[in-house]
Structure 1
Amino acid sequence: MTGTFDPEKLQTTLENIHHAGMPGVFAEVRDNGQIWRGAAGFADLATGRPVTVDMRHRVGSITKSFTAAAVLQLVDEGEIGLDTPIGHYLPQLVPGERGAAITVRMLINHTSGLAEYLPYAYSSLAAFPVVAKTTPASLDDNRFTKFHAPDLIAMGVAAPATGAPGSTPGVYSNTNYLLMSQLLESITGTTAEKCITRNVIERAGLRDTELATETQIHGPHSLHYESWMGMIDPPRDFSVYDMSFVGPAASLISTVADLNRFFGLLLAGEIISPASLQQMQRTGPVISFEGKTIEYGLGLHKVTVPGHGIYWGHEGSVWGGGAISLTSADGKRQMSIAVNLQRWNRLDSAGKPQPHPIDAALQSFTGLALGG
C-alpha cells in the first residue's frame, strides 16, 4: 500500500455523495500514520444542522465483528469450542438433531441453516427483505417494542431452514448472532452487552462506542432517515428506536474513528490471538439480505480491491443509518464511512431496486479511499 492520499480529492468525492441525495455523510481514512477526516451535508434537514466527523452513529451489523471477537476470546481461553455443537451449550434454544449438528463456527459464519427471525418478529414485514411486498408500518409499530433474545431465536429456529447445517453458500441471519449473545451469557454469567463492553470495547480503548441498551443515542449524532425504497416520502427519522430487535447482532453505536481503531487492533492481533484471527479469516460464500454473495469468515467480510489487494471489515445498516469499515490486510490503509439515509433505491414495477446516483457516488469514494 502507498502512504499517500489526496485530502482535497477525498473531500470532493465525499461531498458528491451528499449532492447525489445523501442527507449527511462523514468518514475517516487512515494510511501509514496519515489521518484524513471529512464530513458533508446535514445531521438534521429541518434545522440545517451539519454533520460532523466525530458524530456517534448506529452502525448495524458491524456489531457482529465485536460479538464474534468476544466469542473468540473465550475460544482462546478454552471456554468455547468452535466445532462444538451449540446444543452442548444451549440445548433449550436449539434442541435435538439440529442442536447436535449446528456448531459454534456455523453460527458465526452463517452456515447454520437457521433462518432470519425478523419476518416473524415484525409481523407486517412478512416478506422481509422483499420490501416490494410489504409496507414500512411495522417500523413505527415497533419503535418502542422490547424484544427478548430467546423469543426471537425461537422464531428463527421454528422457521423453515435455509439449508443443511454446514452447507454452502451460507445465508446471512441475525438468529445466528443472537445465539452467540446467549452463548456469551451462558459462559460468562453476565449479559452479552457487558461481556462485549468489557472484553472488546474497553479493551480496545473505544471511548465513543457502546451497545445500545436505551432508545436514545447520547452525545452528538445525526438523525437517521429511512426511505424504505421510497415508501416513506419524505424519509423520516428513526434514530430513536428500541434496538432489542437485533441486540448484539446489530445494536452498536460508534464513531468512524473508533471503528478504524477497532479493526486496526483486531487485525493486528491485539484483541484475539493470532490463531483465532486466522480462524476469523477463513471465509466462504454467504448470501446477504440483498441477495448478493459475499466472502464471509467469523464475523468478517473479505473484500478484494482490484490493484490494491485484500481488505477486511464489515458493513451494516439499521433503520435510517448505515456504515462501512474496511482495513487492508497489512493494516496500513483504513476507511470508515457513515451515512444517515437507508434504502434510498426506489423499486420498479417488478419490485427490483433501481440504481440511484448515491450508489455510484459511494462507490467512487470507497474506491478512492481504499487506494484507487
Structure 2
Amino acid sequence: MTGQPLPLVFEEPKGRRKPPPHLADLTPEERKARLEELGLPGFRATQLATHYFTRLADDPAQMTDLPAGQREQLVEGLLPTLMTPLKVSQADGGTTRKTLWRLFDGALVESVLMRYSDRTTMCVSSQAGCGMACPFCATGQGGLQRNMSTAEIVEQVLAGARALDRGEVPGGPGRVNNVVFMGMGEPMANYKAVMGSVRALTTPGPHGYGMSARGITISTVGLVPRMEQLATEGIPVTLALSLHAPDDELRNELVPVNTRWSVHETVAAAWNYAKVTKRRVSIEYAMMRDINDQAWRADLLGEVLMSYGDWGWVHVNLIPLNPTPGSKWTASRKADEREFVRRLEAAGIPTTVRDTRGQEIDGACGQLAATEA
C-alpha cells in the first residue's frame, strides 16, 4: 500500500464560493463564538442546536423559547438555508422518496429515504458531481462540481428525519436509523466534511443527532490512504468498498482510480480496516451483463477475498445495475446473478443481492440531477 498524496484529479475546481457557516459545521464552542461575533448572546447556540437536532424544527416560528426580537437574526446566524428541494419523487407506496436538491450556488444533488419495516435508511450525497469517472455511473459522467460542506451533508439526513417525524412517510412517525454515503460523489475525496458529518450525526443531543455510528456506512471506490486513515478514527462505521471487478484489467476500465491503487492494494486496505476495527467490510459489486458477471470472475473474487483469511471479515453485496438511459451498461441476467451468488457462497463468503428500490424514479444516483440539468 502507498501513502502518496491524493492526485489533483480528486480536488474540486478552484474559485467556488463556500456555503454560509451553519450550526452543523461548528463545534459547540464555535457556535457560541459565531453568535457572539454577530452581537448575539452565545448561550442561545445550545437552544438552536436543540431545535435543529432534537426537535427537528426548521421554522423560526416554532422556536418560541427564543426572543421574538432576535429570533430571525439568531436563525440566520446559525441555521441559514443551505438547500432547496426542487423535486420529490416517490416509489414503493411512498416508502422510497428521492429528493433533488438545489444548493445555494445552483449545484444539484440527490438524497434518498428508504423506509423498511424495521428501519429507515438515508442515502446521502457527499459531493456535487464526482471526479472518479466510472463509465457506468450517471454521476461520474458529469464530472466534479464541488465538495459539499459538513452541514449540507447533515441537512440531507435531518430533512429525512423531519419527514418521518411529521408522519409524511407511510408507517407513522419514525426516526432515521441508518445513513449510507452512497449517493453522488466519492466520500473519501471529501474526507474532512464527511467525517465532520459523521461526528455531528453521532454526537448525542442537543449538540448532535445522536444516532449510532454502527448505523453509518461510508462507501469508497478505493482511495487507499483515506481508507487507512478511517481505520485510525476510532468511530465504528461500516466501510463499503465499491470493487466491481476482481482483476486489474477490467477494474482499470470500470473504476479508473484502480490505475493508481490496484485490486490487491485496495482489498488489502479494506482487510486492514476490518482487522483494526473488528467491523465487517462490505464489498459492493454492481452486476453488469457480460461485463463482470461471468462465473469465473465470481471464483476469482472469492479467491481474492479469501486470501486474507476466512474469519468473517467480509460480506459481498451484489447490486443489480440500474441502467442509465442510452447506456451500454445493463443489469445481469437473473440466471447469471444466481450462479454468481452460488459460487461465492460455495467459497464461504456471505453474499446478498441488494434490494432494488426506486427504479421508476430514476433511482441510480445522478440520474435525476442529470435529467434536470
TM-score by length of 2: 0.28
| Higher relative contact order, structure no. (Cα contacts within 8 Å, ≥ 6 residues apart) | 1
Normalized against structure 1, the TM-score is what? 0.28
Larger Rg: 2
